[in-house]
Structure 1
Amino acid sequence: MTYQFRALAAQAQADGRITAEEILGLRRDGWADGRIEPAEAEAIFVLNDHLAERTGEWADFFVEAITQYLVAGGSPRGFIGEDQAEWLIARLDCDGRVDSLAELELLATLFDKAESVPERLKAYALAQIEQAVLTGTGPTRDGGALGSSAQGGACITPAECRLLKRYIYSFTSDSPGGVSRAEAEMLFRLKDATLGADNAPEWADLFVKAVANHLMAHNRFQQLSADRARALDSFMNDATPRLGAFFGRMGKSDLGGNFREAARGVLGFGRKGAPDGSGRDLAGEVAADQRITETEDAWLQGQVDANHELDVLDKALLRFIAEAERG
């Protein structure tokens, strides 16, 4: 950490405020070597904790800097490790709660940028939104400042809808690009706790489509493990003659000019509506996933019955599923 960075951070911490010029100075000194060092990341968090007001310029810098620190520091790059997740949760939760909307935005941006994050960090992020909804307090209320909602009770704000959508549909969620069982059950808990409240207009659409996604979406994507990603990185970065020889042998093999089509089959890219080169009937898999199984039906019935009534959002969900099944 440079002397200039340390001095700027210490002065802003003492003042409890930071100017746009000082933030520019932190950007210049913090990224002078193209990376954020551990000591700099710690200093940024300490400064964030002591600011009386977190401006938009500060929030942008804070989110970008800590995301860069964690993503670039992953092994391999983009794979957030357990130790990194523990550090982040400890910094966010140092006083028992997330204190600002910028910190929730940090989690959302990290999920957007990272290749993989530990399950505990995903669960922690969703728990912050659930707690804010159920208690009516937190950084998503009153324009991002801590405090009670105008209603003084459980409701779902537009900010919470936006964050929920980003968390559950992120590439690093429990079900990449889809909605997992745990996420769907959390949405049902929020729905039951906020029935009749002055919820955000987009909440009903988010709830219905997210739960339907869990039940009916075709999503069999599996993320690479960190070990597999490291092996692929090593292979692709191999500049030795044997890599060129490998492709040369492939070009001279029996595949001949049809190498591209054969590769499509090996990788699982077939024409829609027909079995691909790997022998998988993708159209059949999609159709099967869209049908509600007996197990899924039993789970759905249990969730709907949890509050002992068929409420308006339950009805909207069941109508949506019925229409989707009819095609």
Structure 2
Amino acid sequence: MTKPSLMDFVEAKIAEGVVSEDDVITLRRYIYSDMVVSLEEGAALFRLNAAAQGFPDSWYDLFPEAMADILVNQVRPSGYVSEDNAAWLIGQVTADGHVCSRTELDAVLHILERARKAPENLEQFALRAVAQSVISGTGATRSGAELKPGVISDGEVELLRRVLYAGAGCGGMAISRAEAEVLFDLNDATVEAENAPAWSELFTKAVANHLMALSGFAPPPREVALAREDWLEQPGGFEGGIGGFFKKMVSGGVSGVREAYRDQPDPFAERGAAMEAEIAVNEVVTGDETGWLVERIGRDGQLHENEKALLRFLREESPTIHPSLQPLLDKAF
């Protein structure tokens, strides 16, 4: 008896509506029998993911693993996601008009986290998918009726943090303009909501990281800038660990950056003297930076609490404030 093709097997599972543990083992044998996963096999998995109704836990391991093998591990040079492959992935994810809850977004993040380099539009796609899910109350991060549209929960903050972390693995140390724009959009859209406190922390840290990059200052790595302080805090109180490092950085503005780097053991201490001079030069808020910030903050006609915190940061730490920023500064105090 002739063994059915992978597509025949997938169509049979779609007709049944449920994928079992044994089915996942069979799928793994299909796609890994020749030690290579093809784009056609990947498309078949996407089709099954979109059409079937029930999956075992092992499916959520196989799906992102197979996609990473296709787009990251098998390519030459290994680890570099091409523009064409990124377009293929985005096309597969959006083919049914939405991002599924545990699988497609996980696959995108799995790829970004493992890639040495990936097109910026792939990371931006993932970040916007999470943001849109928060606003609409459906899609990638929503799994229960008790979750309300337009409210950022702790789980969604951690998913946003994961997307932003993933960009570091693709060569982007600082938060980009496009990423900062998405975070501002999300902040605007949820200003009336009872968001998780962790959202304020993430928003402030990420946008501050971007503003440092705008000034020409080399900001700390994303794993420092976006770390959860309660996760990374070490014994010894305020001074301890990476958490203490960024607590100083956020609470003390640019001077806090100086102190944070100065007080840390190697390798931070070794960079302290050079960064002292670099930061002093780049504290000035330029016209170009100010133009973007004024336009971005004023886009919805409101001045939000997180935005006020950024303005206070600038007023306290920059020796020269561009005149166009002064009206917003007056409103923030």
Residue 322 (structure 1) shift: 6.2
Change (3 A) 1:288 1:33: farther
Distance 1:202 1:195 in 2: 14
Residue 195 (structure 1) shift: 0.9
Q: Please say if residues 115 and 169 of structure 2, whose CA atoms lie closer than 8 Å, have aligned partners that are also in contact.
A: no
Q: How does 1:187-202 map to 2 (within 5 A)?
A: 187-202=183-198
Aligned match of 1:75: 76
Change (3 A) 1:38 1:303: closer
Distance 1:78 1:52 in 2: 32
In the alignment, which of 164, 169, 177 is matched to residue 168 of structure 1? Answer: 164
Q: Please say if residues 136 and 149 of structure 1, whose CA atoms lie closer than 8 Å, have aligned partners that are also in contact.
A: no
Q: Aligned pair count?
A: 266
Q: How does 1:106-145 map to 2 (within 5 A)?
A: 106-143=107-144
Q: How does 1:23-172 map to 2 (within 5 A)?
A: 23-143=24-144, 150-151=147-148, 153-171=149-167
- Which ranges in structure 1 are unaligned for 5 or more consecutive residues? 222-269, 275-280
Q: What SS does the aligned partner of 2:204 have?
A: helix
Aligned match of 2:328: none
Residue 176 (structure 1) shift: 0.8
Distance 1:291 1:173 in 2: 30
Residue 10 (structure 1) shift: 4.2
Change (3 A) 1:71 1:5: farther
TM-score by length of 2: 0.68
Q: What SS does the aligned partner of 1:176 have?
A: coil
Distance 2:283 2:146 in 1: 39
Q: What SS does the aligned partner of 1:56 have?
A: coil
- Which ranges in structure 2 are unaligned for 5 or more consecutive residues? 221-268, 320-333
Q: What SS does the aligned partner of 1:116 have?
A: coil
Distance 1:286 1:69 in 2: 43
Distance 2:46 2:188 in 1: 36
Change (3 A) 1:61 1:24: same
Distance 1:174 1:79 in 2: 9
Q: What SS does the aligned partner of 1:308 have?
A: coil
Aligned match of 1:272: 271
TM-score by length of 1: 0.69
In the alignment, which of 279, 299, 312 is matched to residue 292 of structure 2? Answer: 299
Q: Please say if residues 137 and 149 of structure 1, whose CA atoms lie closer than 8 Å, have aligned partners that are also in contact.
A: no
Aligned match of 2:212: 216
Distance 2:11 2:136 in 1: 35
Aligned match of 2:331: none
The question of 1:183 aligning with 2:165 is answered no
Residue 108 (structure 1) shift: 1.3
Amino acid corresponding to residue 316 of structure 1 in structure 2:
A
Change (3 A) 1:39 1:302: closer
Change (3 A) 1:29 1:314: same
Distance 2:93 2:201 in 1: 30
Amino acid corresponding to residue 156 of structure 1 in structure 2:
I
The question of 1:316 aligning with 2:312 is answered no
Amino acid corresponding to residue 198 of structure 2 in structure 1:
E
Residue 52 (structure 1) shift: 0.4
Q: What SS does the aligned partner of 1:53 have?
A: coil
Change (3 A) 1:282 1:202: closer
Aligned match of 2:235: none
Distance 2:76 2:276 in 1: 36
Residue 123 (structure 1) shift: 3.0
The question of 1:285 aligning with 2:278 is answered yes
Q: Please say if residues 112 and 170 of structure 2, whose CA atoms lie closer than 8 Å, have aligned partners that are also in contact.
A: no
Q: Please say if residues 107 and 125 of structure 1, whose CA atoms lie closer than 8 Å, have aligned partners that are also in contact.
A: yes
Residue 139 (structure 1) shift: 2.9
Q: What SS does the aligned partner of 2:98 have?
A: coil
Q: What SS does the aligned partner of 1:272 have?
A: helix
Amino acid corresponding to residue 202 of structure 2 in structure 1:
L
Distance 2:116 2:281 in 1: 28
Amino acid corresponding to residue 141 of structure 2 in structure 1:
T
Aligned match of 1:207: 203
Q: Please say if residues 50 and 96 of structure 2, whose CA atoms lie closer than 8 Å, have aligned partners that are also in contact.
A: no
